[in-house]
Amino acid sequence: MAGFRLPKTGTVEVAPSILAADFADLAGEIAQVEAAGVKMIHLDVMDGHFVPNITIGPPVIAKLRKHSKSVFDTHLMITEPERYAKAFIEAGSNHLTFHVEVAERPVELIEYIHGMGASCGVCLNPETDADAIKDVAGLCDMVLVMTVHPGFGAQKFIDSAAQKCRRIRELVGPDVRVEVDGGINPETCPVAVSYGADTLVAGNAIFSKPDRARAIEDIRAACK
C-alpha cells in the first residue's frame, strides 16, 4: 500500500493520536481532525507484551484507510516488529515506527520497510539514550522521541526525555522529522519545538476537547 509521504521538514505538523478518540466512531473522529488541516494521523499499536496495553492491528487500519487520505503514521509498540511490518503496510500504513529497544536488526528492518514503499523511523523510550539510534540515523525518515512511558495516553510530559531531541537533531540533520509523543499540549509543545521537534503527536489535548479544530489550532499557535 504505502503511497503518500511524510510532509517535508520546515513546518511543524500536528499528528492527532486516535488513542484518545472515540473508538466506536474512528472514521468520524479522523474526519474532524482532517477538517482542521492535519496531514498525519498517529495510530498507536500495542501488543500487551512490549507495553501493558492492547489496541488495534492491521484489520482496523485497513478499514480506516478507506476513510482517510492522510499519512498513516503507525507507531508499533510491539515486540518482533519485523514479523508484522508487512501486514501493517498492506493495511495502509504510510510510515512505520518501531522501537529501537526491541529491534534485533534495525538496519535490515528499515531497508525491508523502505523496500515495501513505506517510510520508516525508530522510536526511543524515555530512558533510552539518544545515541541508541546512531547506526540508523542516516536511514530514518522520522525519529520518534517518547515523552512519556509508552502504553497509555493522558500522562505527564517528561522534559528530560524531550531534551533528547537536541541530540537526535544533531544525529539526523535538518531534513528528517523529529516527532514527540506523550503529554503534548499547548503548554509543552513550544518546549519540545525549542529542543528540535517538528512533529507533535497529541491525543488527549485534541480528543478530550469538544472542538477538535480549536484544540489543534491552540497547539499550532502555541508553537509559533
Determine if 181 is a binding residue for Zn ion (CB under 5 A): yes
Q: Which of 13, 29, 44, 179 binds Zn ion (CB under 5 A)?
A: 44
Residues 158-217 contacting ligand DX5, CB under 6 A = 181-184, 201-205
Stretch that binds ligand DX5, among 61-69, 95-103, 144-152, 188-196 (CB under 6 A): 144-152
Is 73 an annotated catalytic residue? no
Q: Binding marks (x or -) toward ligand DX5, 99..138, rule CB under 6 A?
A: ----------------------------------------
> Which of the residues 44, 73, 141, 198 is marked catalytic?
44
Q: Which of 30, 42, 70, 74 binds ligand DX5 (CB under 6 A)?
A: 42
Rg (CA), the chain: 16
Q: Any residues with CB less than 8 A from the CB of 115 and at least 6 apart, and which?
A: none
What is the widest separation between alpha-carbon atoms in the chain?
43
Residues 61-90 contacting Zn ion, CB under 5 A = 75
Q: Which of 153, 164, 188, 216 binds ligand DX5 (CB under 6 A)?
A: 153
Using the minimum distance from each CB to Zn ion, give the nearer residue, 65 or 149.
149
Name the residue number minimizing CB distance to ligand DX5: 203
CA gap 16, 159 in Å, rounded: 20
Please check whether residue 135 is in contact with residue 107, taking contact to mean a CB–CB distance below 8 angstroms: yes
- Binding footprint of ligand DX5, residue count (CB under 6 A): 22
Beta strands per DSSP E along the chain: 13-16, 40-46, 71-77, 95-99, 119-124, 142-146, 177-181, 199-202
Is 129 an annotated catalytic residue? no
Binder of residue 41, out of Zn ion, ligand DX5, none (CB less than 5 to 8 A by kind): none
Residue 131, classed as helix, strand or coil, is helix
According to DSSP H, which parts of the chain are helical?
26-35, 58-65, 81-90, 106-115, 159-162, 164-172, 189-194, 204-207, 212-223
Please check whether residue 182 is in contact with residue 203, taking contact to mean a CB–CB distance below 8 angstroms: no
Binder of residue 73, out of ligand DX5, Zn ion, none (CB less than 5 to 8 A by kind): none
Q: Which residue has the cell 530512558?
A: 127
Q: How far is the CB of 101 from ligand DX5 (least distance, A)?
A: 13
Q: What is the DSSP string of 206-223?
A: HHTSS-HHHHHHHHHHHH
Binding site for ligand DX5 (CB under 6 A): 17, 19-20, 42, 44, 75, 148, 150-155, 181-184, 201-205
